[in-house]
Structures are given as structure tokens and as C-alpha cells.
RNA sequence: GCGAUCAUAGCUCAGCUGGUUAGAGCGCCGGUUUGUGGUACCGGAGGUCACGGGUUCGAACCCCGUUGGUCGCCCCA
């Protein structure tokens, strides 16, 4: 080991994380549970590129939004094309659906997970490179798709052991409903513009729906009296939402109506939802100000923005890091056996024993370095179920509690694993 | 983009109102003890106190700046 590094070690990129130990175990547990649950619902696995033409995201999200102008990781490649590290899964999946002719599989249920990138200031539960699990149903316009998708989300959270979050559900109606509501909100808030916070005055121009979830005390008095979407829903939109909620009730998914839950982007229609920790719960405390654990909605307008035919779709995504925080620390894999080399001449025999154990599926470690006298303590500290001792004459003893059947079976294998 | 807060050993931290060679626990390495045993003791390696200026007889400590972390606002696909 050199005393001094010749030059300074480069640091990690802001907002990236090196995950290890209990956190990494929790991360893996989330992903494994997701993979298991999505199979129960017959969602097909898809693997997607980590980057796309910037256009894919810019067109689907809307060129003018803050999201596109400030918060994407974009760069030019050598050919001069503008590329972007994916900030979400949905747009890329939609692009793949159109360019690969996946229409033939419609309605298509797909699931994936992996890293995403957003150029933001990191804070608790928010990173520049973060990871999500994602599920989408494409080409299904009926409320049953929403119900199934939400039932899967609900089951996933339960199987992760997260019980203090609740589904907050809203409808944005169809295109006309949404526009009418938006106009009514602009009129309502416009009348009291002077009394709103500076931020909300700006939102009035850019994104009036967002005023509804303002945290500013100056805005709060006006929120309760704001026009409700329900007054603007078309008959079809009402019927759609009713079908979703009754389906959820039948499936046993608990939900609450969240009239001010909105989406920033225009392509969302009908169902919008977020799973949010219950107030005062352990999960709420664990997440800080980043409260949404899983969110999504119906995006019937997206495919057209990418030049495809009108295609109804609904999906959700959830941050793996946030879920991992709620899952809590997980133990590493149980250690079944440690091979303890009590004399250096026993190393060859120890390696033979170790190979047999692992070939037999026994989770094993070896302790063969450092002071001979302290190797036992070193082995014990790893909390193995059993310790196999090897001296200069070979393997001679096993200690520990519980059944040794698996170990004995592995050791009695006649053929070497590589034969 | 804005704000708050922090930065001392590999890790978690102590370091009084500025005052000699900057400490502990854990971890790592070695020794003694023990000898079917997660024991106890001793020792060792490891720090330009984030970086750069300034104030002072003297700075880990006070002031300014920079960088980085954390948390929050904006935004949240």
C-alpha cells in the first residue's frame, strides 16, 4: 500500500451513489420482489437502452417545460446528434412500441427496471442517477387495465412489507374535461392573483394545476374553494373513473380520493395516482420531503406526440432507492460454512473442501490469512452456521449448531464439480 | 437557480474561552494470555484537522473565499 496517492483521487459525480452493504441488500430485495410480483401479473420483461435521441423525450414531455430545458442529461454525439440519458422509462418504451411493431402484441404488459438520469440538485431520496422499477400497459383503453396495474402496485408494496402508504387517486378526465377545469382554475386563481405567492402567480401562467399542491401558506386559504374536476367531467370520464374505483374496491385495494393530485404534463388523461406515506408514519419520516413512493397515470396522448397512432396506455414507476429506505436494512446472505485453515500446509485441502461445498450449493467462505492464532476468531466473527477445520494433515473437524446434512452431502460428492 | 447546515484517522466521533508532540472507540496488523475457543491485556500502522487566503506572538478552533457532502425551496416526467 503506497502511503500517498500520486495525484488526487477523482471524486464521484454529484448525485451518484455507491451502494453497498445493508443498503445494497435492500435494493436487491426490492428488485427481486418486483420481478416476482410482475410475473404473477404476466407483465413481460423488457430491456431498454439507457439513452435515446433527445427528441424522444423532448417531444413526449413537451419542448417548453422546465423538465426538458433544464433537467435532462443531454449531449451531442460524434455525429452531431443530440442524445439524452433517459430521465424516465415511458417515452423510450413508447418509442420502442412504435419502432418495433409491438402493436401486434397489444394490449402489451411490460415491466423493466434500471438507472435513470435527471440533472437536479440532490437531496434526500433524489439523485442524478437513480433507479426505478416500471410497469406499463400499452394499447389498453379500458379501466380494467388501470385496476390491474394498481393492484400489482399495491401487492408489491405489501410484499415489500410496506403497510403505511396509501393510494391517492384522482381523475383528470378526458381532454375536454381537463381543459375546462384548467380554464376554471385560471379564472378562479386569477381573481385573487395579488394574494397568491410569487411562485403561484408564475404557476398561473405556466402550470395552473400545480397551484393546487402549493406548500405556501399564502396559497392555502384559496385551495379549498377552488373548482373541482368533478364538475367538469364528461359522462364517459365519470363512468371511467367509477369503473376504476369499483374495480379497486373489488380487488381489495385501499385508496383515497385526492382531488388536487395532478400531473404536470399535458398527455395525461383520466387516472392519476400516487402511493404516499400516511401522515406521521415511519415511512413519511424516512422519506423527508420526497413523499411519493410510486406514481403514474394514464397517458393516452403520448403515442401521438411521437408520431404514432392514438394508443391508450397506463403505467407507473417507483424509485428503488426510496422503496429501499422503507424496506429498511436487510441482512446479507446467511453464511453456512467457513473453512478454517489452521496451518498453511492445509491450503490445498481447504480449497478442495471449499470447492465441494460450493458445488453442493453450500454458501461458504474461507479464512486462511493473517495470524494463525487469530483465524478462529476471524471465522467466528462472520457468524457462520458451521466451521470446518483444516490443519496440515487435512480436514478433520466440524463445529457449530444445527444440522450438518447439507455440508456432509456436499463433501461426499465423488466427482469434482469441473470434471 | 435560491437558502440553511456541515467538513478532524479507513468508519463513528471528541477536542473546553485560540495555547506545547491532535485524541477515543471500532476496524486493520502483530505479540502475550486462553486452548474446542466469539476472552483479556500489550503494541503497531494510519491525520499537510477539505482546500486557499487573512487576523494573531500562536489557528482544528476566529474572518473571507473555494470545493464537496447533507437537508430544504423551485421543479418533479
Q: Are residues A319 and A351 both part of a single domain?
A: no
Q: Are residues A252 and A295 both part of a single domain?
A: yes
Q: What is the CATH number of the domain that holds A386?
A: 3.40.50
Residue A301 and residue A145: Cα distance in Å, rounded?
A: 16
Q: What is the dihedral of CA A407, A408, A414, A418, to 10 degrees?
A: 0
pLDDT digits (tens, 9 = 90+) for A249-287: 999 999 999 999 998 788 899 999 999 999 999 999 999
Would you tell me the crossing angle of helices A22-40 and A320-327 to the nearest 10 degrees?
110
Q: Are residues A59 and A161 both part of a single domain?
A: yes
Q: Are residues A85 and A43 both part of a single domain?
A: yes
- Strand B bases near protein CB (under 7 Å) are 1-3, 28-39, 46-47, 68-77
Q: Are residues A317 and A384 both part of a single domain?
A: no
The answer to whether some atom of strand B lies closer than 7 Å to the beta carbon of A376 is: yes
Q: Are residues A309 and A238 both part of a single domain?
A: yes
Q: Are residues A84 and A159 both part of a single domain?
A: yes
Q: What is the CATH number of the domain that holds A122?
A: 3.30.930.10
pLDDT digits (tens, 9 = 90+) for A196-230: 999 999 999 888 999 998 888 899 999 999 999 99
Residue-range definition of the domain harbouring residue A125: 22-174+234-327
A16 found inside a domain: no
Protein residue closest to B35, using CA and C1': A373
Tell me which residue has cell 373513473: A241
Between β-strands A364-367 and A337-341, what pairing exists: parallel, antiparallel or unpaired?
Answer: parallel
pLDDT digits (tens, 9 = 90+) for A181-194: 999 999 999 999 99
Protein residue closest to B29, using CA and C1': A370
The answer to whether some atom of strand B lies closer than 7 Å to the beta carbon of A118 is: yes
Measure the N-to-C terminal CA separation of chain A; round to a whole number of Å. 39
Residue A333 and residue A362: Cα distance in Å, rounded?
A: 11
Residue A65 and residue A82: Cα distance in Å, rounded?
A: 18
> What value of ipTM does the predicted structure carry?
0.88
pLDDT of residue A5: 38
A53 found inside a domain: yes
pLDDT of residue A2: 30
A361 found inside a domain: yes
Domain finish residue from A277, A301, A327 = A327
The answer to whether some atom of strand B lies closer than 7 Å to the beta carbon of A373 is: yes
> Which nucleotide in the DNA or RNA is closest to residue A207, CA to C1'?
B75
Give residue A4's pLDDT band: very low, low, confident or very high (50, 70, 90): very low
Q: Are residues A86 and A151 both part of a single domain?
A: yes
pLDDT digits (tens, 9 = 90+) for A125-143: 999 999 999 999 999 999 9
Alpha-carbon distances, residue A303 vs A30, A137, A149, A208, A336 (angstroms) = 30, 13, 19, 24, 52
Short-list A174, A171, A167, CA closest to A153: A167
Q: Are residues A166 and A91 both part of a single domain?
A: yes
> Which nucleotide in the DNA or RNA is closest to residue A370, CA to C1'?
B29
pLDDT of residue A145: 98
Task: Point out which residues pair with A295 in neighbouring strands.
Answer: A274, A317
Look at residue A150 and tell me whether its pLDDT is greater than 60: yes
Count of domains forming chain A: 2
Q: Are residues A123 and A144 both part of a single domain?
A: yes
pLDDT of residue A169: 97
A401 found inside a domain: yes
Look at residue A69 and tell me whether its pLDDT is greater than 80: no
DSSP state, residue A208: G
The answer to whether some atom of strand B lies closer than 7 Å to the beta carbon of A398 is: no
Give residue A165's pLDDT band: very low, low, confident or very high (50, 70, 90): very high
The answer to whether some atom of strand B lies closer than 7 Å to the beta carbon of A399 is: yes
The answer to whether some atom of strand B lies closer than 7 Å to the beta carbon of A392 is: no
Would you tell me the crossing angle of helices A143-159 and A235-251 to the nearest 10 degrees?
30
A184 found inside a domain: no
Q: Is A80 left (phi over 0), alpha (psi -120 to 50) or beta?
A: left
A189 found inside a domain: no
Look at residue A158 and tell me whether its pLDDT is greater than 80: yes
Q: Are residues A258 and A134 both part of a single domain?
A: yes
What is the spatial distance, in angstroms and rounded to an integer, between the CA atom of A308 and the C1' atom of B6?
A: 51
A38 found inside a domain: yes
Residue A208, all three cell numbers? 395552473
Domain finish residue from A274, A300, A327 = A327
A217 found inside a domain: no
Short-list A335, A358, A346, CA closest to A413: A358
The answer to whether some atom of strand B lies closer than 7 Å to the beta carbon of A3 is: yes
Domain finish residue from A327, A346, A376 = A327
Q: Are residues A160 and A117 both part of a single domain?
A: yes
Amino acid at each position: 500500500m503506497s502511503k500517498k496517492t500520486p495525484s488526487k483521487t477523482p471524486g464521484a459525480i454529484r448525485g451518484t451513489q455507491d451502494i453497498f452493504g445493508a443498503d445494497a441488500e435492500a435494493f436487491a430485495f426490492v428488485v427481486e420482489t418486483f420481478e416476482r410480483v410482475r410475473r404473477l401479473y404476466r407483465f413481460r420483461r423488457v430491456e431498454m437502452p439507457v439513452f435515446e435521441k433527445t427528441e424522444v423525450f423532448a417531444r413526449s414531455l413537451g419542448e417548453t417545460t422546465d423538465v426538458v430545458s433544464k433537467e435532462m442529461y443531454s449531449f451531442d454525439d460524434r455525429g452531431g446528434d443530440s442524445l439524452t440519458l433517459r430521465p424516465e422509462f415511458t417515452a423510450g418504451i413508447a418509442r420502442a412500441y412504435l419502432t418495433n411493431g409491438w402493436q401486434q402484441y397489444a394490449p402489451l404488459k411490460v415491466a423493466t427496471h434500471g438507472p435513470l438520469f435527471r440533472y437536479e440538485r440532490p437531496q434526500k431520496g433524489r439523485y442524478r442517477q437513480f433507479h426505478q422499477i416500471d410497469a406499463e400497459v400499452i394499447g389498453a383503453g379500458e379501466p380494467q387495465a388501470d385496476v390491474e396495474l394498481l393492484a400489482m402496485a399495491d401487492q408489491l408494496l405489501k410484499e415489500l412489507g410496506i403497510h403505511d402508504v396509501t393510494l391517492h387517486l384522482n381523475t383528470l378526465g378526458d381532454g375536454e374535461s381537463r381543459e375546462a377545469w384548467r380554464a376554471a382554475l385560471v379564472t378562479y386563481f386569477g381573481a385573487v392573483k395579488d394574494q397568491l405567492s410569487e411562485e403561484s402567480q408564475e404557476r398561473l401562467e405556466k402550470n395552473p394545476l400545480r397551484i393546487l399542491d402549493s406548500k405556501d401558506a399564502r396559497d392555502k386559504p384559496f385551495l379549498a374553494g377552488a373548482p373541482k374536476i368533478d364538475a367538469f367531467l364528461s359522462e364517459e370520464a365519470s363512468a371511467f373513473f367509477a369503473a376504476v374505483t369499483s374495480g379497486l374496491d373489488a380487488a381489495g385495494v385501499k385508496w383515497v380520493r385526492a382531488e388536487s393530485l395532478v400531473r404536470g404534463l399535458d398527455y395525461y388523461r383520466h387516472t392519476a395516482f400516487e402511493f404516499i406515506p400516511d401522515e406521521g408514519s415511519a415511512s413519511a419520516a424516512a422519506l423527508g420531503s420526497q413523499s411519493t413512493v410510486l406514481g403514474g397515470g394514464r397517458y393516452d396522448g403520448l403515442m401521438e406526440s411521437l408520431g404514432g397512432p392514438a394508443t391508450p396506455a397506463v403505467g407507473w414507476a417507483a424509485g428503488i432507492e426510496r422503496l429501499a429506505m422503507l424496506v429498511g436494512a436487510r441482512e446479507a446472505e446467511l453464511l453456512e460454512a467457513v473453512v478454517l485453515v489452521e496451518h498453511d500446509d492445509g491450503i490445498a485441502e481447504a480449497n478442495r473442501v471449499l470447492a465441494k461445498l460450493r458445488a453442493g450449493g453450500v454458501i461458504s467462505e474461507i479464512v486462511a490469512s493473517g495470524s494463525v492464532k487469530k483465524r478462529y476468531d476471524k471465522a467466528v466473527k462472520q457468524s457462520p452456521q458451521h466451521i470446518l477445520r483444516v490443519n496440515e494433515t487435512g480436514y478433520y473437524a466440524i463445529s457449530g449448531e444445527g444440522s450438518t446434512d447439507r455440508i456432509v452431502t456436499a463433501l461426499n460428492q465423488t466427482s469434482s464439480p469441473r470434471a
